[in-house]
């Protein structure tokens, strides 16, 4: 519903049926509002999301947390949902894709802030503590890989952090944002390359996307390979 009716979304609503037709996918009807950037899954039954987004009254005001969990488990096939408290304020009411993502089974990369004076220090560290004490659907404690944010801000009068977590995973590569922050950009690319040693890491200028809200992952939607014969 346009990130809580933030903007018109008539054209957006046409995409799902088009993709279903083109890929021969099975269609399941559900009226719950759920955006691609508001969840991350590990493929083995674990899902990460944020309370800030999914429990926001501008999304599903008639659904309780329990109703939302039931929907996610039924339609996505997950058994365990890890609720982080916060996303960031990039216009989506806190999508998880700006603060954490699965990078492998049992491994989560999380955005961190080391500057205690930064507006996001407490929020990101609260998320970090939740991840470090969480178990996945198989009962395994998560391995948390910390990726420090860039402290450069580009939106006037806005504390929105420059997040490297907001990247796109392709079959053979990773597209990550950069922020004209030489040291932080280098550290982020190096860390992500170490996590994905068999993929090519491509950094693009993420400043313009950030100023519009979000980043690389926000403007993409990975499409699973079709099983259409």
Q: Quote the CA–CA distance of 33 and 26 in Å, as a whole number.
A: 19
Structure letter (DSSP) for residue 44: S
Confirm whether 53 is a catalytic residue.
no
- Are the C-beta atoms of 76 and 41 separated by less than 8 Å? yes
Q: Quote the CA–CA distance of 205 and 73 in Å, as a whole number.
A: 36
Q: How far is CA 9 from CA 12, 13, 14, 220, in A?
A: 5, 6, 9, 16
* Strand duo 168-169 + 173-178: pairing: antiparallel
Q: Which of 53, 101, 113, 218 is catalytic?
A: 218
Q: How far is CA 75 from CA 32, 106, 113, 196, in A?
A: 11, 22, 34, 29
Other C-beta atoms within 10 Å of 159: how many? 11
Q: Which helix (H) or strand (E) holds 169?
A: strand 168-169
Name the percent of the chain in helix, strand, coil, to the closest 5.
Answer: 30, 20, 45
Enumerate the active-site residues: 218
């Amino acid at each position: 519903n346009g990130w809580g009716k933030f903007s018109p979304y008539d054209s957006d609503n046409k995409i799902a049926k088009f993709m279903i037709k083109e890929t021969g996918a099975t269609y399941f009807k559900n009226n719950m509002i759920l955006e691609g950037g508001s969840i991350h899954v590990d493929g083995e039954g674990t899902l990460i999301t944020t309370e800030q987004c999914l429990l926001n009254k501008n999304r599903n005001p008639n659904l309780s947390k329990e109703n939302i969990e039931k929907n996610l488990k039924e339609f996505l096939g997950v058994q365990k949902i890890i609720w982080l408290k916060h996303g960031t304020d990039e216009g989506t009411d806190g999508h998880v894709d700006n603060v954490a993502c699965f990078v492998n089974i049992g491994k989560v990369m999380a955005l961190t802030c080391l500057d205690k004076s930064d507006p996001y220090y407490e929020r990101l560290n609260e998320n970090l503590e939740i991840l470090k004490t969480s178990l996945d659907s198989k009962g395994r404690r998560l391995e948390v890989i910390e990726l420090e944010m860039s402290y450069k801000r580009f939106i006037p009068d806005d504390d929105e952090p420059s997040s490297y977590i907001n990247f796109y995973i392709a079959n053979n590569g990773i597209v990550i944002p950069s922020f004209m922050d030489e040291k932080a950009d280098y550290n982020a690319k190096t860390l992500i390359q170490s996590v994905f040693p068999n993929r090519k890491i491509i950094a693009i200028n993420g400043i313009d996307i950030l100023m519009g809200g979000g980043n690389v992952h926000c403007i993409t939607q990975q499409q699973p390979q079709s099983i259409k014969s």
